[in-house]
Amino acid sequence: MDDAIPASAVAPMPNNLEAFWMPFTANRQFKKNPRLFVDAEGMYYKTIEGREVLDGTAGLWCVNCGHKAPRIVKAIQEQAAGLDYSPPFQMGHPRAFDLAARLAAMLPGDLDHVFFTNSGSESVDTALKIALAYHNVTGNGTRTRLIGREKGYHGVGFGGISVGGMVMNRKFFGSLLTGVDHLPHTHNLEHNAYSRGQPEWGAHLADELERIVALHDASTIAAVIVEPFAGSAGVILPPKGYLQRLREICDKHGILLVFDEVITGFGRLGASFATEYFGVLPDIITTAKGLTSGAVPMGAVFVRKHIYDAFMKGPEEAIELFHGYTYSAHPLACAAAHAALDTYQEDGLFERAAAMAPYWEDAIHSLKGEPHVIDLRNLGLVGAIELEPIPGKPVKRAFDVFLNCYEHGAMIRTTGDILALTPPLIIEKTHIDRLIETIRSALRAVD
């Protein structure tokens, strides 16, 4: 399956690269030397020049089933020829309800209700709005503050960048939401460099939430949102006991805990969700990406029973939550999601990821001592290689490694001077070897 991309996939270069304003991209640099994919299969992309590129990042942390997963392709094709669209407001279609029930059954505890969105950013803004509205409908309308974390990434909506903690994503966009505070991040090489799996040091950083509560008073705080591990900031893993401590403090003060599982959901850690992996139950979970294995845009927000129930009061004919999207639970997305869940289950991909994790860990840590490497991190099927920045030229070294890997047939991702790896869950040992050796050569080749 890996090498089966037909030669016919090679396509001509577009005449005009100017019109498309590319997201999160150095447009002028890219357009001078574009990197274009025209097809993909299994673990590989095919470039416009006809080269195969090993996918070390599951697209953008989303193609967990691998490319062109047969069940997903079939489901999308069939759905496109069936119900094309059904309004999600005051109307429905059966697969949306089946999908929500199926997802609710996958989630631990009483995370029983599902609100559909089209992206991670929409899931985050939906979750924050539900948290605020929940306190409102339960008579706690003074709880309006939202607490995020430094280095957090929660997409690009105004809610998400307000609780997020990545400076470049915030500084150009005005005053953002008011009433937001941030926990400190947990990145610390002095204490945690080269940890295998979760670091030992840093659980006490969750206690900063007590300081924030003392400053603002619990009666003003609606929710805390964190990624179980910070993905986009460069795979910053939660210290042992940290998430448990956050849960305890939120419980003590009646604050809702939101896990942003847009990356960690659907098998990344070798468990269905991070909540299961870490054994910590939040009140709300945001997801997207792996829900459809990236094949059709879709997101979902899971809420616990008491939250949903709090809205199901008052006259039956009244709309309970004034929120939703034209494409919430789009039929095509529902079809893709059902097929992705079938693939995860029938091919045992979460278990496969868990079984592959020790090999992955050893492979990542085999890079210790290579040029420029100052830290290696791993958990489940996620990994990070942190590099010493070139003095005065931050991000250049990592980007040069990225380019070198791409030229030599492997796609990785960079954030700052960190290389991030999040392969499809179908990855095999031979792919891991190839990915790591390509990175090793690149590290040795760059300045």
Tell me which of 119, 328, 343, 414 binds ligand PLP, using CB under 6 A. 119
How many other C-beta atoms are found inside a 10 Å radius of the C-beta of residue 147? 26
Least spacing, CB of residue 369 vs ligand PLP, in Å:
30
47 binds ligand PLP (CB under 6 A): no
From 262, 264, 270, 206, select the one nearest 239 (Cα to Cα). Answer: 206
Beta-bridge partner residues of 385: 376, 419
Least spacing, CB of residue 139 vs ligand PLP, in Å:
30
Tell me which DSSP letter residue 440 carries.
H
Which residue's CB is nearer to ligand PLP, number 46 or number 154? 154
> Which residue's Cβ lies closest to ligand PLP?
120
x/- contact string, 286-325, with ligand PLP (CB under 6 A)? Answer: --x-------------------------------------
Three-class secondary structure of residue 224 per DSSP = strand
Contacts of 251 (CB under 8 A, 6+ apart): none
From 111, 141, 146, 104, select the one nearest 125 (Cα to Cα). Answer: 146
Least spacing, CB of residue 168 vs ligand PLP, in Å:
15
Least spacing, CB of residue 121 vs ligand PLP, in Å:
3
Structure token digits, residue 352: 């496969």
Which residue's CB is nearer to ligand PLP, number 198 or number 232? 232
Three-class secondary structure of residue 237 per DSSP = coil
**Single-letter residue type at 343:** T
CA–CA separation, 48 vs 10, rounded Å? 5
262 binds ligand PLP (CB under 6 A): yes
Residue ranges with strand state E in 49-104? 52-55
Tell me which of 151, 154, 187, 352 binds ligand PLP, using CB under 6 A. 154
Contacts of 203 (CB under 8 A, 6+ apart): 239, 240, 241, 242, 244, 245
Tell me which of 96, 124, 166, 421 binds ligand PLP, using CB under 6 A. 124
Residue 222 phi, psi (nearest 5): -90, -50
Residue ranges with strand state E in 10-112? 37-41, 44-47, 52-55
Tell me which of 112, 125, 260, 400 binds ligand PLP, using CB under 6 A. 260
Binding footprint of ligand PLP, residue count (CB under 6 A): 14
Least spacing, CB of residue 187 vs ligand PLP, in Å:
16
88 binds ligand PLP (CB under 6 A): no
x/- contact string, 216-255, with ligand PLP (CB under 6 A)? Answer: -----------x---xx-----------------------
Q: Footprint of ligand PLP on this chain (CB under 6 A)?
A: 119-121, 124, 153-155, 227, 231-232, 260, 262-263, 288
